[in-house]
Structures are given as structure tokens and as C-alpha cells.
A and B are shown apart, each in its own frame.
Chain A
Amino acid sequence: MEPNLASYLALSGILFTIGAVGVIYKRNALGMFMCIELMLNSVNLTFIAFARYYGDTTGQLFVFMVMAVAACEAAVGLGIIIAFFRNKVTIDVDEASLLKN
């Protein structure tokens, strides 16, 4: 059975949900970070699926841009995690609650 658009979208939706729930429930900063990447990649998958479906390369081009942004975000995000670790000697994000009240 040839996989059709709906199944790609369904996979993408499942991946996105896993990522979103992971961001909300994880306390480990690295884990959250990976979940964010997962969400981004699920969106990429949607782009690719639609691009194939419509026979239009624009979606594929956007995926490159998302990947470039994701790389930048990874650099910045890891930097923040390292800085956070140096301050608190932990990467439990619940320790970063300065904004409380």
C-alpha cells in the first residue's frame, strides 16, 4: 500500500503531540530541547508531504530554512543550557523560576 498524504499528516501530528507534551512534562532541559527539535521536524515532515502532494518545491525549500533556523536555535539553546548549568549546577528547568510572581 502506497502511503498517502493523510498518513504522513497523521504521523506528523503524532510526532508534534509527542514533542509538545514532552516540552510541557519534561524537567530536564536537554530533554525539552530534543522535544522542541521533534516538533520542528514534524512540521518539516508536513511541508515535505504537501510539497510532494502538490508537486511544488516551495515546501521543500522551506524545510531547508527551518533546518537552518533549527541549527541556530540549537546553538543558542545549548549555550543557554550551559550557562544555566554553570549557575545552578543542574539542568532541571524548574530551578529557573525567577519570573515567579
Chain B
Amino acid sequence: MTENNLLSVIIFAPLAGAVINWLIGGRLRNELFSGVIACGAIAVSAAVAFYLAFVAGGGALFIDKPILDHIWTWISVGGFRADFALGMDRLSGVYACFVTFVGFFIHVFATGYMKGDDGFYRFFAYLNLFMFAMLTLVLADNYLLMFVGWEGVGLCSYLLIGYYLKKNEAREAAKKAFVMNRIGDWGVLMAIFLTFTLTGSISFFDKTVGGEEVQSVFTWVLQNVTAAEPFTWGAIVAGGLTTIGVLLFIGATGKSAQIPLLTWLPDAMAGPTPVSALIHAATMVTAGVYLVVRSNVIYQLSPTAMWIIAIVGAATAIFAATIAIAQNDIKKVLAYSTVSQLGFMFLAAGVGAFVVAIFHVMTHAFFKALLFLGSGSVIHGMHHEQDMRKMGNLKKYMPITCVTMATGWLAIAGIPIFSGFFSKDEILYKTFAADKYFQNGAFPGNEFLWIVAVITAVLTAIYMTRMMIMTFWGDERWSEPPAVAGGLTHDSATHDEHADGHHDAHGDDNDEHHALPPNFKPHESPWVMTVPLIVLAFLSTVGGLVGIPYAMSSLVGIKDANAFEHVLEPVVADVETPAAVKARENAKAHSPEAVSTERWLALLSTVMAVFGIAVGFLLFRNNPLRKMPKILEQKWRLDEFYNGYIVDPLTNLSRKRLWQGFDLGFIDGAVNGIGSFVMALGNIVRGVQVGYVRTYAAFILLGALAVIGYFIYFGFKLL
């Protein structure tokens, strides 16, 4: 165990930034000041994170013991111990690095994007607070402190999604995000309670605090649980590790927008674009994956929970991809794409490929931040127009945005060399081979999941191609007279609402530009916006090279190129069940069949990616406004389903039964009833009050005589 107090700088620098911006920035109202403070805070945080991860004491990513920082003892009651302490091991090291790094560029970008906004200081205060919460979540050394960060990102997402306070859509979206996250948080809390009752600890790391040994949850599990729990539905409610795993996953579905709690994330697009980028790439949604991977010991011993994660992940992936293909709002396409990619990450975690899940989290952070910032740049250049039907041919006007976004497009589509290819391909392969590498032995239905994942990958390539074509190629559609554009939009009612919503939506932040002048020309964004794009484009291109799988690097004769896996391997604990040991041996062996399978699958997925892009070009090159199936455009009517079957019945129950029935009838009735009963009683009894002193005196005398008579008659024994 190494102590290093620098660790707390990582989380407190953004907090200080937020406080300074809130207290001083609000007075000064100086965009330069607010921007420098906010970006500077994250820069400090990032510098320290990288220093600790790579340099200090050998670097947290390369040593076996985590770097710990005990800030203070938070709760210590009986056997229960929760410290306000941070820990950076290999997993949280990777997270801290990419969160601060990507976060920094998003901050820089935001200084350009938010220029001229009234709440500039407020925006950056929230943004810094968001980073503080996320870093607390990632670096916390126990479940409870992690939950503080977990709630913190929920709060900050609420504040930032609802940043345009005057926009009804934004407020509604913020509320929705908050409520959906709360539902998931129930699961996390229950899981923490259960973890403590089961293991007597909530700590992530073994450590010594003030001479007292603290054993981590995971050590306890490794020492006391020797066999995986049974693979049955009953295990879910048995109150063991499987129950913990499922409860944690409920929390993860809320935070990471998986089925069934996914609808908040696309709605969250009502916030400013840099916020979307931050939520989707660096903070918030990847927290669910972190939680699952952090608890991998628990999951390795509960096959039912793993299986559920894999199924939900795959289902979410394909579900969101089908929706993304039919959206017309550039940010909605990306939002559903994130949901779909998160599904991939959970699929990977579900089949036991925890390292690959984190790998995809990282590459996704690069290319999704890039795509979101790119879309932000497009929206900025189009003066807050988000409807892709009103774009087209922007490559002529925004060459840098176009080129950088194209790398993001190729990365997410899974073209070799680009980062997304390696991580996505690993996920597909691990799913395909889950039978061999699954820690719990057999994995029923893995081929089916693989097929779903491949179809999703093709859909991904198609919808991203559609987005690129609608935005950057084709005719310039922004100058078309409203009648024509109206004619195109009027074929679907929901769509109209959408388009209108966005008109209103952006009325608040920059409306003076919105009515596009007849000679309107989109413009390239300033350098504060393009530089982050370029950096992220570079990383989206080469970022995947840190994790080239053995099967591919051995093609060119390099034995050991998968640095990422080697860094993260120790995070996945060695569970000593027979199936797990066998799976580990299989993975280490690099048997020729396995390697050739992986190569063929990689070739297949490359072909599929190219095929998807080709299909996208064929479908949309000449007809970018091709009508998509209505059900997809309406997102499978999932929101309507939730509203109709959950929200409305609940509202009705509350209004009709609980409020008008129970509250007004029973509770108010009881309270008023007691009141009138006392009044009536008083009316009867007040007759006694005649007001004459002598009457009272007589009563006192009678009373005294009665008491004395009682004692004389019964004697004094009763006293």
C-alpha cells in the first residue's frame, strides 16, 4: 500500500474550480476568467492523474498495489467503516486518465461553444462539479463514497441537462434523467447494504488505517466463496452474490442508459452540446461499466447476473441502433449510438471480457467525444440548427470539422486501424467464443448474442454513414424555402413536434441568429473548438493501437502488443473455480484454432463494416432524405409505452386514489374528525363552567370528601 496525498488534488481541483467560478465568476461575469479557471482546474487534475498513473512510484497503472489517499475517516461505527479515501489502481487509473483528458478538451471546446451565453460562469461551475463527481466516483475506495460520486454525477447531469432553464423541453429532460437515475440508484443502495451484511466490508482495497486492518469486499469473496453460485433464476432472489450483482446492474442500467432505463439519455440532448459530449464520452454513462468491472469478482461467481448483463447489453445495442438509423436530429443519432455502444460494453462485461469492456469504454470516449464535439461544431456553424434535413454539403464550409468527424465515423463503424475496430472486434470475438473463455463455464446462447452484435455493428456503420451524408455531402438544404422543408417534415406528426421543439429550444440561447438570413453561409468554428477536434480525431485514429489483440499483432510477427490488456489484467481477479481456471488457461494459450477463429472473425467484421458503409452510401448518397420506417423514427414508441403504462397509471393512482381518495378522504377526514369531536365534547362539557367561585369551591369540597371517604372505606392499603 502506497500513500500519496496528491491523489486528492485530482478531485479537489475541479471542485475548487467550481467554487471559484460560482462565487467569483458570478460577480465578474468575465468569460475569459471563467473559462481559464474551469479549464485550468481540469488541466491540473489531468496532469496529476497522468503523473500518478504513469510516473509516481512506478505509476499506478504498472504496480500491483493501489495508490491510496486517506483524507478522513468518514463513518466508523462498530464493524462498519467508510472512509473518505481515494484509491487509484489500474482500473481507476485508466478511468481517471481518460476522464480528465477527454474532459479537458471538452472544457476547451465549450469555451468556444458557449461564447456569449448569459450563464457562462454557471455553466462552467456545473461542468467542473460534474468532473469532481465523476472523479470521486472513479477514485473512491469504497462503495459508499463511490455512491456519493454516483449521486453527484446524477445531480450535475440534472443541472446541466436543464441548463436552458427557460426551455420546457430541457426541464422535462432534466427531470426525466433525474428520476430514471434515482430508480437505478435504488439498486446500488440495496447492493451496498447487502454487500456489507454479507462481507462485513464495503471497501475496494485491502488497507491499514491507523493500525487497523481493513479487508476489502473482493478479498473476502475470494477467500470465503469457492464455488460459483448456481445458474438459476432462483439465485437472483437468494440474497447472495447473484443478488448483489443484479442489484448493481440495475444501478448500471440507470446510469448507463440500458434497457429498461434508457429513455433519459436521448432526451438529455436538450442540454448544451459540450454537456452531451461530457455525459456520453467521459463522465456519467461509463460509470455503469466501471461499477460492473470494479465488482468483477462478484460477477465471476454469479453466472446468472453475467448472463442477464450480456442479454440486456446485446438487446440494448440492437434496439438503440435501429432507432438511431431513423433520427433526423444530429444529436439524437449520436445519443442512440451511445446507448448502442454502451450495450456493446455491457455485452463484453457480460461474457466475462471485462478488460475489453474497459477498452471499448476508452476508445468510445475518444470517438464519441469527437463526434459530439463535431456535431457541436456543426450546430455552432449552422447557428443552432440541429435538424440534419436542413444541412448538407457542409464539407465545403467546415473542412476541419468534416475531416475530424470522418475519423470518428470510421472509428465507430469499425474500419481497421481506427480505434473502434480493435475494441469492437474484441467484443464480437469474446462473445463468439464465450463458451471457452467464460469464467463460469458454459454460456447458453452466445452464438445468438454474437449474431445480434454483428447485425448491430452493420447498423452502426449504416446510421453513421447516413449521418455523415446528410450533414456533409449532398445539396445545401438550409436555404430551401420553408414551404419545401415543411412539405418534407409534415409527413409525420411526431417529427413536427421535434423540429418545432428545437426551434423553441434554441430560441433562448442564440435566437438572434436563428432566422437564417437568405444569404446565410455556415462557417468553420474558431480554433478553441477545432483544436480539441483534431486532438480527439488523432486519438480516435491511433488510440486503439494500445490494445491490439494477439491474433492480429502476431500476423506481423509481434508477440505482445496488447499493452492495454496487460495493464488491466490484474484488475480481473483470479477466481479459483474450475471453469474459471480453464477459461484463463484457454485465454493464455493462444491456441492456433482460437487465433485463426479470431482472425477470420476480424476479417468478417471488417467486411461487415465496409458493407454497412456501402449500404449507407447506396441508400442515402442520392437520396439523403429517404423516408425511414415510422416506428423507428418514433423510437419504437417506447416513451409512449412508458407514459401510457407506467407514468399515467401512476399519476392517476396518485391523483385519484392517493390524493383525492386517501389524502382528502382519509387523512384530512381523520384530522378534521378529531377536531370536530373535540369541539362537540367541549360544547357538552362547558355547561359545568358556571363561573361562580362558590360552585367551584363546593366541587373541590365534594372531591376532597370523596377521596377521603374512599380512603376511610378501603383503608390506606391501596396506596
* Chain A residues within CB distance 8 Å of chain B: 20, 23-27, 32, 93-94, 96-101
Q: What is the chain A residue whose CB lies nearest that of B699?
A: A24
Minimum CB–CB distance from B621 to chain A (whole Å) comes to 95
> In the bound complex, how far is the Cα of B694 from the Cα of A27, in angstroms?
8
Minimum CB–CB distance from A93 to chain B (whole Å) comes to 5
> In the bound complex, how far is the Cα of B696 from the Cα of A99, in angstroms?
11
Q: Could you say which residues of chain A place their CB within 8 Å of the CB of B591?
A: none
> In the bound complex, how far is the Cα of B693 from the Cα of A98, in angstroms?
11
Q: Could you say which residues of chain A place their CB within 8 Å of the CB of B692?
A: 93-94, 97, 100
Further contacts, 13 of them, CB under 8 A, given A24-B701, A93-B693: A23-B694, A24-B694, A24-B697, A25-B694, A93-B692, A94-B692, A97-B690, A98-B691, A99-B691, A100-B690, A101-B687, A101-B689, A101-B691
> In the bound complex, how far is the Cα of B692 from the Cα of A96, in angstroms?
7
B77 at the interface (CB under 8 A from A): no
* Residues 637-692 of B at the A interface (beta carbon under 8 Å): 686-687, 689-692
> In the bound complex, how far is the Cα of B694 from the Cα of A56, in angstroms?
37
Do B697 and A23 touch (CB < 8 A)? Answer: yes
> In the bound complex, how far is the Cα of B702 from the Cα of A23, in angstroms?
13
Minimum CB–CB distance from B626 to chain A (whole Å) comes to 88
> In the bound complex, how far is the Cα of B696 from the Cα of A32, in angstroms?
13
Q: A20-B701, A24-B701, A101-B686 are in contact. Are A96 and B693 (CB under 8 A)?
A: yes
Q: Is the interface of B mostly helix, strand, loop or mixed?
A: helix
Q: Could you say which residues of chain A place their CB within 8 Å of the CB of B556?
A: none
> In the bound complex, how far is the Cα of B697 from the Cα of A55, in angstroms?
35
Q: Could you say which residues of chain B place their CB within 8 Å of the CB of A93?
A: 692-694
Q: Could you say which residues of chain A place their CB within 8 Å of the CB of B484?
A: none
A-B contacts, 27 listed (Cβ < 8 Å): A20-B697, A20-B701, A23-B694, A23-B697, A24-B694, A24-B698, A24-B701, A25-B694, A26-B694, A32-B693, A32-B694, A93-B693, A93-B694, A96-B691, A96-B693, A97-B690, A97-B692, A98-B691, A99-B689, A99-B691, A100-B689, A100-B690, A100-B692, A101-B686, A101-B687, A101-B689, A101-B691
Q: How many A-B residue pairs have CB under 8 A?
A: 33
Q: Could you say which residues of chain A place their CB within 8 Å of the CB of B689?
A: 99-101
Q: Could you say which residues of chain B place their CB within 8 Å of the CB of A101?
A: 686-687, 689, 691
Q: Could you say which residues of chain B place their CB within 8 Å of the CB of A99?
A: 689, 691
Q: What is the chain B residue whose CB lies nearest that of A96?
A: B693
> In the bound complex, how far is the Cα of B693 from the Cα of A99, in angstroms?
10
Minimum CB–CB distance from A86 to chain B (whole Å) comes to 18
Minimum CB–CB distance from A57 to chain B (whole Å) comes to 25
Minimum CB–CB distance from B142 to chain A (whole Å) comes to 67
Q: Could you say which residues of chain A place their CB within 8 Å of the CB of B698?
A: 24
> In the bound complex, how far is the Cα of B691 from the Cα of A97, in angstroms?
4
Minimum CB–CB distance from B705 to chain A (whole Å) comes to 9
Minimum CB–CB distance from A38 to chain B (whole Å) comes to 13
Minimum CB–CB distance from B501 to chain A (whole Å) comes to 67
* Interface core residue of B694, B698, B701 (most chain A CB under 10 Å): B694
> In the bound complex, how far is the Cα of B697 from the Cα of A25, in angstroms?
10
* Residues 516-560 of B at the A interface (beta carbon under 8 Å): none
Q: Could you say which residues of chain A place their CB within 8 Å of the CB of B690?
A: 97, 100
Q: A20-B701, A24-B701 are in contact. Are A100 and B694 (CB under 8 A)?
A: no
Q: Could you say which residues of chain B place their CB within 8 Å of the CB of A27?
A: 694
Nearest 9 interchain pairs by C-beta: A100-B691, A97-B691, A99-B691, A24-B698, A24-B694, A23-B697, A93-B693, A20-B701, A101-B686
Q: What is the chain B residue whose CB lies nearest that of A98?
A: B691
> In the bound complex, how far is the Cα of B697 from the Cα of A99, in angstroms?
14
> In the bound complex, how far is the Cα of B697 from the Cα of A26, in angstroms?
11
Q: Could you say which residues of chain B place their CB within 8 Å of the CB of A32?
A: 693-694
> In the bound complex, how far is the Cα of B693 from the Cα of A24, in angstroms?
8
Minimum CB–CB distance from B190 to chain A (whole Å) comes to 60
Q: Could you say which residues of chain A place their CB within 8 Å of the CB of B697?
A: 20, 23-24
> In the bound complex, how far is the Cα of B693 from the Cα of A27, in angstroms?
9
> In the bound complex, how far is the Cα of B97 from the Cα of A3, in angstroms?
109
Minimum CB–CB distance from B502 to chain A (whole Å) comes to 71
> In the bound complex, how far is the Cα of B686 from the Cα of A24, in angstroms?
21
Minimum CB–CB distance from A36 to chain B (whole Å) comes to 9
Minimum CB–CB distance from B370 to chain A (whole Å) comes to 85
> In the bound complex, how far is the Cα of B692 from the Cα of A97, in angstroms?
6
> In the bound complex, how far is the Cα of B691 from the Cα of A99, in angstroms?
5
Minimum CB–CB distance from B292 to chain A (whole Å) comes to 74
Q: What is the chain B residue whose CB lies nearest that of A21?
A: B701
> In the bound complex, how far is the Cα of B694 from the Cα of A32, in angstroms?
9
Q: Could you say which residues of chain B place their CB within 8 Å of the CB of A100?
A: 689-692
> In the bound complex, how far is the Cα of B699 from the Cα of A27, in angstroms?
16
Q: Could you say which residues of chain A place their CB within 8 Å of the CB of B687?
A: 101
Q: Could you say which residues of chain B place their CB within 8 Å of the CB of A97?
A: 690-692
Q: Could you say which residues of chain A place their CB within 8 Å of the CB of B693?
A: 32, 93, 96
* Residues 485-503 of B at the A interface (beta carbon under 8 Å): none
> In the bound complex, how far is the Cα of B689 from the Cα of A100, in angstroms?
5
> In the bound complex, how far is the Cα of B701 from the Cα of A96, in angstroms?
20
Q: Could you say which residues of chain B place their CB within 8 Å of the CB of A94?
A: 692
> In the bound complex, how far is the Cα of B693 from the Cα of A96, in angstroms?
8
Q: Could you say which residues of chain B place their CB within 8 Å of the CB of A23?
A: 694, 697
> In the bound complex, how far is the Cα of B687 from the Cα of A100, in angstroms?
8
> In the bound complex, how far is the Cα of B701 from the Cα of A82, in angstroms?
26
> In the bound complex, how far is the Cα of B88 from the Cα of A65, in angstroms?
81
> In the bound complex, how far is the Cα of B692 from the Cα of A23, in angstroms?
11
Q: What is the chain B residue whose CB lies nearest that of A93?
A: B693
> In the bound complex, how far is the Cα of B108 from the Cα of A91, in angstroms?
92
Minimum CB–CB distance from B696 to chain A (whole Å) comes to 9
Minimum CB–CB distance from B163 to chain A (whole Å) comes to 64
Q: What is the chain A residue whose CB lies nearest that of B704?
A: A20
> In the bound complex, how far is the Cα of B698 from the Cα of A24, in angstroms?
6
> In the bound complex, how far is the Cα of B57 from the Cα of A97, in angstroms?
92
